[in-house]
Amino acid sequence: MGLFETKIEVKDVNAFGKPKLPPGQTPTSKFPVLTYGETQKIRREDWSLAVWGLVEEEQRWTWDDFMKLPQTKIRADFHCVTHWSRFDDEWEGVLFRDLIRQIKVKPEAKFVLQHAYGGYTTNLPLQWMIEEDVILAHTFNGEPLPEEHGGPVRVFTPRRYAWKGAKWIRGFEFLAKDRPGFWEMNGYSNTADPWKEERFW
Ligand SMILES: Nc1nc2c(c(=O)[nH]1)N[C@H]1C(S)=C(S)[C@@H](COP(=O)(O)O)O[C@H]1N2
Ligand SMILES: [Mo]
């Protein structure tokens, strides 16, 4: 893996046509843990996922229910606002766009606030959540997602900086108006596009 660090060249292009290495990022084969506060320790049997807000009906999935939803593997790069990127990991789980096929979102819903166990939140437009391969991942490179990286289930946003994905996800709130999440209230960009270096406001 050490040599891998030299393999990413600026001219390389990623799966959606953007430079593999976004501006201001440095490749790494490490996977640092960045958590504000404590690692949440949630057993699979205690975990559940809920949707509320602008939905026709609130709904909840247990681990077993969740594992019956369509499962997808994506290979993608991880970009942290603190200037490191890691490449070509395999993330397995449920795409957000497949999850919301299971529910009826009200037409006025335009934004989604992710809520994590422990209180972390982060926000994105509903359209981006659907279009940008946002995944609720439980498996990372073929192994259960480690607790410190958000297991049993985290959100991963391959087209945004990583703070846009809540580790230990517990629910999605559907909103008509945007509502800033934890880091968005504390100085981080609302839109978080790594190719535009949208880091802070
Ligand atoms: N629940 C929760 N999710 C979170 C965070 C957090 O503190 N709590 N930190 C975010 C930030 S700032 C980053 S960079 C990534 C880090 O993910 P990692 O620890 O797996 O590298 O998780 C994001 N999701
Ligand atoms: Mo971060």
User: What are the extents of the domains in the chain?
Assistant: 26-196
- Name the residue at shortest CA distance from atom 18 of ligand 1: 33
CATH 3.90.420.10 assigned to domain 26-196? The reply is yes
Mean pLDDT of 88-108: 98
Chain centroid, CA 164 distance in Å: 6
Mean pLDDT, the chain, rounded, equals 96
Three-state DSSP class for 162? helix
* DSSP letter, residue 100: G
Pocket lined around ligand 1, Cβ cut-off 6 Å: 32-36, 80, 116, 118, 120, 149-150, 162-163, 165-168, 183
- Name the residue at shortest CA distance from atom 20 of ligand 1: 149
pLDDT at residue 1 tops 50: no
By most ligand atoms within 8 Å of CB, the mutation choice from 163, 168, 182, 184 for ligand 1 is 163
pLDDT at residue 6 tops 60: no
- Six-digit token string for 1: 């893996």
* Rounded Cα distance, 130 and 117, in Å: 23
pLDDT-derived band at 60 (thresholds 50, 70, 90) equals very high
Bond into 158 cis (ω within 30)? no
Work out which ligand 1 atom sits closest to the CA atom of 78: 21
Mean pLDDT of 118-139: 98
* Rounded Cα distance, 20 and 97, in Å: 24
Could you tell me which residues come within 8 angstroms of residue 93 by beta carbon, excluding any fewer than 6 positions away?
71, 72, 135, 136, 137, 138, 139, 153
The answer to whether the Cα torsion of 175, 178, 184, 189 is positive or negative is positive
pLDDT at residue 126 tops 90: yes
* Rounded Cα distance, 154 and 140, in Å: 11
Q: What are phi and psi of 193, to 5 degrees?
A: -85, 115
